[in-house]
Structure 1
Amino acid sequence: MFLSGEDDAPPLLAHTEVPPRVTENYILSGYRFPNYSLRQCLLSAFRPTNETGNFWTHFLPAFLFAYHFAEVFGWEGSPPAAAPFFYPLWTYFLGVLCLLSASSLAHLLNSMSLVVREVCFFVDYGTISAYTVGSSLAYYYYIHPRAGLPEAGGPWEPGNGSRADPAPLAAVSSAWYGMADASALFEAFYVPSSCAVAVICILSCCNTRQRWRRHRYLIRTLVFLLPFLVSSTPIFYRLLTRSPYRPASASLASSASMAGHFYRHCAWLVASAAFNIAKVPERLAPGLFDVWGHSHQWFHCCTFLSILEELHMIKAEVRAALLQPALALSEAAGSSAAAMSRLPGPTALSTYGVMLLLQATIAAIIGWFSWQAERIYGPERDQLARRGLRGHHKCH
């Protein structure tokens, strides 16, 4: 079965020649045998297999995302990249970068063994959950109407390459448009709820690899609808109420594009879900799209386009905040608005600290499911390895 040298790529196999665990619906050929070495996996990125397109459709977009992300720091009046104002943006960037990188590597390295395959996709699900929380932090500080923002022209916090002025980062707030109780409830539970939902998502997705396999694509798609609904709460509110920025201001003009980006973000998410569930086009012509053009590659492309629209939406709000950091109080809120406590600006603990705690929780969950995978698939992996070794000797 195997060629004589590790540098030689093992032959690609049909779906009947690999363990059922490895096969995908309507993909009939192009499978790598699940005992590849690390070197062989890496080299397979340049070989037409049924995973090649899955790798490149998330690997290359990571660089495109980084290019669009870095634009923020070149804007006029923008604080230093290390300023606390940008902490939520950096957590969002790390979430997206981890998602794209983990997805690429999961598709590239999953042929090392059945157990490694499981671990790869557990990590993939974990980074999706972390990305949703990174998005929530960006929404909370840049789209939430009471986000803490620096005063126009004011000093930035010392110790991050900014001016030497010792005055702390100033923060201002606006009323949540006369809904003080709802505002307090939101501020207390929004980020914790996003984290809790992210944990539920990774638990559900990891379970689909060990049970519920018949409907795994439907479950994995629907289970991420919940974090979308929770994390998008600030956006829904902004779309249903007046803008916190003053009329005819540059901030209002920048913020006006938020709705369009959000609607396109949703449209691409719906398209990605449709591809992931329907398994089109390979369902219509099994075997024809085994290497290029199958649904998972389109799923990746639509997912990235949704993330890119989300980035543009967040950037529009960041620009609006920098143009007019002092938010206008709602006339409808009256004097009660001024008495409401302000929402503090971002801190290392409320951004990086939240992500670090979440990642530790996700790592523990991945560790548990990986142990389960070793217990379930370890014997089958060892059996496949012995078969591969016998095939290697026969080639000699």
Structure 2
Amino acid sequence: MLLNCDQPLPLLSHTDVPPRVKENFILTGYRFPNYSLSDCLLSAFRPTNETGNFWTHFLPVFIFLYYFVEVFGLEGAPHSDSPFFYPLWNYFIGVFCLLMASSMAHLLNSMSLVVREVCFFVDYGTISAYTVGSSLAYYYYIHPRAGIVKLAGQNASRMDLKDEPAGAPTSSYAIPDLSMFFETFYIPSACVVAIICVLSCCNTRQKWRQHRYIIRTFVFLLPFLVSSTPVFYRLLSSSPYDTTSSSFAASTATPTFFYRHCLWLLVSAVFNISKLPERLAPGRFDIWGHSHQWFHCCTFLSILDELFMIKAEVRAILLSSTLLLPPAALSRLPGPTIASTYGVMLLLQTTIVSIIMWFSWRASYIYGPQIEQLAKEQPKKHLKCH
């Protein structure tokens, strides 16, 4: 057992840590893989190769919260606990859990090899939960119908009303065949894809390790494509708002925010796969400036632009005098309910936790016996007080 005598535990080079702990092109700054909880927490304030990884996702929690609460001050916004905001709160839960789980995974992963595995299993699980939280927000705020009744007679020149009875809500679908997907399969598809992603990413920690970064990057491309379907639809079809309305003006920012969201995701993927800049100068970016820190920064910027896009659509809904907030009896899509938002997330989280528990059990079976052996093989200098 290590005796730190109130002194910081020594940082090690890549030759002194187990292969499971090594990162490509990172040569120094490794924490000893038997830190106590207090040692891990204190390491957030000393330069290690995980310090930047922690802060680049911990500080964004507060930045995200600052911009998130602005939604409730929008003109015409109902109370924050209104069903209208259920999807938004689920989106917040997804983002908050993602940022906190990622920062804590990087901070606490030096407690043991098994804890390290569990930390990143949880990290992958929260990424998948975030994608479903985004899907719920897209479904209710950006979806062509968005669970909102479009009153007959509005924008009739752009809509086919021949099959609609008088006084019925008109359809804004430009591609009618997609209505079945949106109304029946969109959310279930997002959940299924999220579960597949958790299974795949967790498996890269026990198999396929040589190509793990490429696999993890492309595995999360699928949920992005599925969850973004309502946005793609909106970009390719006409706006549901009258072009002279303030709602239309508010929603015009959506394409810009979405394109920036995609750009930041693309840049983050490049950093994650290429391992730049440390690939060009191994050892020079061990503490600050290595690819994973840039990956964190870019993914947060993508989340921030996504939040701005959702806020723009929420504001457009609230400003519209021709739309009724859900739930509404005449709407093809029901408004958000506890079951359709929190219930979906709870079911998904329960499934993800089960997957994490399974892989964690396998990790303890694989790496548990190595912990005692690892402790015995450490140089004696780590047992001395300085």
TM-score by length of 1: 0.88
Cα 1:151–1:184, aligned 2, differ >3 Å: closer, same or farther? Answer: closer
In the TM superposition, residue 189 of structure 1 has moved relative to its aligned partner by 0.2
Amino acid corresponding to residue 187 of structure 1 in structure 2: E
Q: Does 1:84 align with 2:83?
A: yes
Match for residue 217 of structure 1 among 196, 201, 213: 213
In the TM superposition, residue 275 of structure 1 has moved relative to its aligned partner by 0.2
RMSD, matched Cα: 2.2
Cα 1:10–1:178, aligned 2, differ >3 Å: closer, same or farther? Answer: closer
Q: Which residue of 2 aligns with 1:373?
A: 363
Maintained 8 Å contact 1:245/1:327: no
Cα distance in 2 between the residues matched to 1:215 and 1:33: 26
Match for residue 299 of structure 1 among 275, 295, 299: 295
Cα 1:244–1:8, aligned 2, differ >3 Å: closer, same or farther? Answer: same
Structure 1 unpaired stretches of 5+? 153-171, 329-339
Cα distance in 1 between the residues matched to 2:318 and 2:266: 32
Q: Does 1:236 align with 2:247?
A: no
Cα 1:36–1:326, aligned 2, differ >3 Å: closer, same or farther? Answer: same
Amino acid corresponding to residue 198 of structure 2 in structure 1: I
In the TM superposition, residue 390 of structure 1 has moved relative to its aligned partner by 6.7
Secondary structure of 1:310's aligned partner? helix
Secondary structure of 1:247's aligned partner? coil
Secondary structure of 1:20's aligned partner? coil
Cα 1:43–1:173, aligned 2, differ >3 Å: closer, same or farther? Answer: farther
Cα 1:4–1:63, aligned 2, differ >3 Å: closer, same or farther? Answer: closer
Q: Which residue of 1 aligns with 2:255?
A: 259
Cα distance in 1 between the residues matched to 2:212 and 2:169: 44
Within 5 Å, give how 1:338-357 maps onto structure 2.
Answer: 342-357=332-347
Q: Does 1:383 align with 2:383?
A: no
Maintained 8 Å contact 2:251/2:313: yes
Q: Which residue of 2 aligns with 1:129?
A: 128
In the TM superposition, residue 224 of structure 1 has moved relative to its aligned partner by 0.4
In the TM superposition, residue 388 of structure 1 has moved relative to its aligned partner by 5.5
Q: Which residue of 1 aligns with 2:146?
A: 147
Cα distance in 2 between the residues matched to 1:286 and 1:315: 42
Cα 1:295–1:345, aligned 2, differ >3 Å: closer, same or farther? Answer: same
Structure 2 unpaired stretches of 5+? 152-167, 325-329
Cα 1:325–1:302, aligned 2, differ >3 Å: closer, same or farther? Answer: farther
Within 5 Å, give how 1:1-396 maps onto structure 2.
Answer: 2-5=2-5, 7-149=6-148, 174-177=170-173, 179-324=175-320, 326-327=322-323, 342-387=332-377
Cα distance in 1 between the residues matched to 2:202 and 2:107: 19
Amino acid corresponding to residue 28 of structure 2 in structure 1: S
In the TM superposition, residue 176 of structure 1 has moved relative to its aligned partner by 3.8
Cα distance in 2 between the residues matched to 1:84 and 1:371: 39
Cα distance in 2 between the residues matched to 1:395 and 1:178: 72
Maintained 8 Å contact 1:27/1:287: yes
Secondary structure of 2:295's aligned partner? helix
Aligned residues: 366
Maintained 8 Å contact 2:149/2:169: no
Maintained 8 Å contact 2:271/2:294: yes
Amino acid corresponding to residue 378 of structure 1 in structure 2: G
Maintained 8 Å contact 1:173/1:326: no
In the TM superposition, residue 381 of structure 1 has moved relative to its aligned partner by 1.3
Maintained 8 Å contact 1:149/1:326: no
Maintained 8 Å contact 1:246/1:327: no
Maintained 8 Å contact 1:141/1:148: yes
Cα distance in 1 between the residues matched to 2:150 and 2:323: 10
Amino acid corresponding to residue 8 of structure 1 in structure 2: Q
Cα distance in 2 between the residues matched to 1:389 and 1:284: 31
Q: 1:258-307: per-residue Cα shift (whole Å, max 9, x none)?
A: 00000000000000000000000000000000000000000000000000
In the TM superposition, residue 394 of structure 1 has moved relative to its aligned partner by 5.8
Maintained 8 Å contact 1:15/1:29: yes
Q: 1:25-84: per-residue Cα shift (whole Å, max 9, x none)?
A: 000000001000000000000000000000000000010000000001112211000000
Cα distance in 2 between the residues matched to 1:198 and 1:93: 17
In the TM superposition, residue 3 of structure 1 has moved relative to its aligned partner by 4.7
In the TM superposition, residue 145 of structure 1 has moved relative to its aligned partner by 1.4
In the TM superposition, residue 391 of structure 1 has moved relative to its aligned partner by 6.1
Cα distance in 1 between the residues matched to 2:169 and 2:306: 24
Q: 1:101-146: per-residue Cα shift (whole Å, max 9, x none)?
A: 0000000000000000000000000000000000000000000011
Percent identity among equivalent residues?
72
Cα distance in 2 between the residues matched to 1:25 and 1:185: 42
Amino acid corresponding to residue 247 of structure 2 in structure 1: S
Maintained 8 Å contact 1:36/1:111: yes
Cα distance in 1 between the residues matched to 2:11 and 2:85: 47
